[in-house]
Structure 1
Amino acid sequence: MHPLLNIAVRAARRAGDIILRAANQRDTLTIDTKQRNDFVTETDRQAEEEIIQIIHKAYPDHAILGEEGGQIGDHEITWIIDPLDGTTNFIHGLPHYAVSIGIQIRGRLEHGVIHDPGRGEIYTATRGSGAFLNDRRIRVSSARGLENSLIGTGLPFRDFTHADAYYGMLQAIASKTAGIRRAGSAALDLAYVASGRLDGYWELGLKPWDIAAGIVLLQEAGGIIGGLAGEPSGFMESGNLVCGNPRMFAALVREIQPHLNEALTSPTRQ
């Protein structure tokens, strides 16, 4: 295992331990609202602090981009952290959330870790070395099209600017699949596509810490990820993306394209 990835795994596991302890004491949690339907708990903050402490003990000069703490430092290596992706699930006792850590080197994502503490699952990937779930190599599904497929997504729940376009996509895709799942953790959705549990996925308005680790996992598992019109870049900036194996990616893009507007294909956050 690459030394950077090894530190990321250690940090993710420690953060997962904090989350599991707190999950058994949910009634005592302090919950703050950052904006409408956007919550943060002391568990999010404690987990992120633990991750940063472990990273900076090993690599004191490296930069951090965290969901709670924002940008810390300036270095060619940046750790992109979501200490608890799926906070709303966590608050409600729904055991579907994860720690996500992506590592970007000179602007390119090179390593990723997604840890599901409740299931004891840890997904890891290093560019050029494959993707793994608990040390077992994983691949995207072999689905050949939308028929009989299971697709993940994230419903608009905070920003409804493009709700009409999104619901048009949802109707088009749902009518051709075996089902749509909205589970509440983008990091785990990407990990599930990488491991073949989901055949594809699309969502609007994500943040870099939601998807950084998952991008590496998905690509190393043989998947394709891009913007809603199929463009190969800009989705980290816009937060609008679609992914799956090559055939599923193309099939999803075909259903999505008729519902796009100019804003949804622009490489800037909307």
Structure 2
Amino acid sequence: MSQALHPMLNIAIKAARTAGAIINRASLDLDLLKINTKGPNDFVSEVDRAAEQAIIETLLGAYPGHGILAEESGRSQGAKDSDYVWIIDPLDGTTNFLHGFPVYAVSIALAFRGQVQQAVVYDPTRNDLFYASKGRGAFLNDKRLRASKRTRLSDALIGTGFPFRKGDNFKRYVQMFEEVMQHCAGLRRPGAAALDLCYVAAGYYDGFFETGLNPWDIAAGSLIITEAGGLIGNFTGEADYLYQREVVAGNPKVYAQLVQILAPYTRVIKPDEPAATPAAGAALTPEQALAATAAAPAPAEPAKKKGPVRIRKADMPRDDDAPF
């Protein structure tokens, strides 16, 4: 890497590569892995836990006074009241990994008083390192990342993720999917949100949307997108998305068009409603709630909102393998 990196970013990169090595070794013999189920279609393997522990040991070894918010261990490690909080997903795309499908990544972000400042997403199967420091641009390995320049949704390739946990609103998602599908050039669903967000930053996708995501899925990718000139927000185009369990991202033009389509489907949590519950054990202080979330400047104003969207009642075409 040619440019001088922030010391905290360097530590995050070291932690991500350490976790990636653990994941790559385990991928050579998937049959030997011990796997537990957190819920229907929600798996955790000993690799997730080993990678997470390696990341935490690396980060706290360098910064013992920092806080930790990690997928598998919640806030059980690190300082509980630090302004600095590392937000960690040791293996985003566990289901892909367990099947040998090579789309998964390590995601590490550092938030200072609710603002994401440093971000790393490492794809161990390709040895691709996406990273960003706030105000200093986003990079893939040594290459500066820029969001795409496509302006029309009809020309755009959009990424998404299907809901998969019990309790997710499948019917609502299928309606969104149908409407976006009819307005764009193509939809893709590889299955690792951290990488999906990096693909928006790299310009591989022109936009992305998903529901049901947790903070560790999107914290790092959100900064990488904004540092590449993209926008990220909730379905109504606001910067409060980290705990809203809905996210939309894209280059500025496509982002605005996606917000226009997705706004009627928003489930934004109002101030008088209980916040989305983080992972078990993740007791967050207000400072760490990252409600402001803004990895980025406030998103540009979306296109004028239209009235409620009419969903056609005709069934979507499907084949025998359709997941709906």
The aligned residue for residue 115 of structure 2 is 108
Alpha-carbon separation, structure 2, partners of 1:19 and 1:81: 15
The aligned residue for residue 12 of structure 1 is 16
Say whether 1:265 aligns with 2:268.
Answer: yes
Sequence identity percentage: 49
Q: CA deviation at 1:68?
A: 0.7
Alpha-carbon separation, structure 1, partners of 2:50 and 2:167: 31
Q: CA deviation at 1:161?
A: 4.0
Say whether 1:3 aligns with 2:7.
Answer: yes
Say whether 1:23 aligns with 2:30.
Answer: no
User: Which of 234, 241, 248 lines up with 2:247 in the alignment?
Assistant: 241
User: Which of 156, 172, 176 lines up with 2:179 in the alignment?
Assistant: 172
Alpha-carbon separation, structure 1, partners of 2:276 and 2:210: 13
Count, aligned residues: 266
Alpha-carbon separation, structure 1, partners of 2:148 and 2:101: 26
User: Is residue 80–residue 102 contact of structure 1 (8 Å, CA) maintained in 2?
Assistant: yes
Alpha-carbon separation, structure 1, partners of 2:166 and 2:134: 33
Say whether 1:44 aligns with 2:48.
Answer: yes
Q: What is the CA deviation profile of residues 164-214 of structure 1, one whole-angstrom value per residue up to 9, with x for unaligned ones?
A: 222111111101112111111000000000100111000011001000100
Alignment of 1:65-76 (within 5 A): 65-71=69-75, 72=77, 73-74=79-80, 75-76=82-83
Q: CA deviation at 1:160?
A: 4.3
Alpha-carbon separation, structure 1, partners of 2:129 and 2:83: 26
Alignment of 1:1-270 (within 5 A): 1-71=5-75, 72=77, 73-74=79-80, 75-233=82-240, 235-258=241-264, 260=265, 264-266=267-269, 268-269=275-276
Q: CA deviation at 1:162?
A: 2.5
Q: What is the CA deviation profile of residues 98-117 of structure 1, one whole-angstrom value per residue up to 9, with x for unaligned ones?
A: 00000001111111000000
Calculate the aligned-residue CA RMSD, in Å: 1.2
Alpha-carbon separation, structure 1, partners of 2:239 and 2:115: 14
Alpha-carbon separation, structure 2, partners of 1:28 and 1:204: 33
Q: CA deviation at 1:257?
A: 2.3
| Residues 77/139 of structure 1: CA separation in 2 closer, same or farther (3 Å cut) | same
Q: Which residue identity is paired with 2:74?
A: G
Report runs of 4+ in structure 1 exceeding 6 Å deviation.
none
Larger strand share, 1 or 2: 1
- Structure 1 unmatched runs, 5+: none
Q: CA deviation at 1:265?
A: 2.1
Larger helix share, 1 or 2: 1
Normalised to the residue count of structure 2, the TM-score between the two structures is 0.80
Q: Which residue identity is paired with 1:158?
A: R
User: Is residue 79–residue 102 contact of structure 1 (8 Å, CA) maintained in 2?
Assistant: yes
Q: Which residue identity is paired with 2:256?
A: A
Q: CA deviation at 1:232?
A: 2.1
Partner secondary structure for residue 155 of structure 1: coil
Alpha-carbon separation, structure 1, partners of 2:169 and 2:46: 32
User: Is residue 205–residue 269 contact of structure 1 (8 Å, CA) maintained in 2?
Assistant: no
Alpha-carbon separation, structure 2, partners of 1:161 and 1:211: 18
From the CA coordinates, give the structure whose radius of gyration is larger.
Answer: 2
Q: Which residue identity is paired with 1:27?
A: D
User: Is residue 15–residue 83 contact of structure 1 (8 Å, CA) maintained in 2?
Assistant: yes
Partner secondary structure for residue 117 of structure 2: strand
Q: CA deviation at 1:218?
A: 0.5
Q: What is the CA deviation profile of residues 227-246 of structure 1, one whole-angstrom value per residue up to 9, with x for unaligned ones?
A: 1111222x111121101011
- Structure 2 unmatched runs, 5+: 278-324
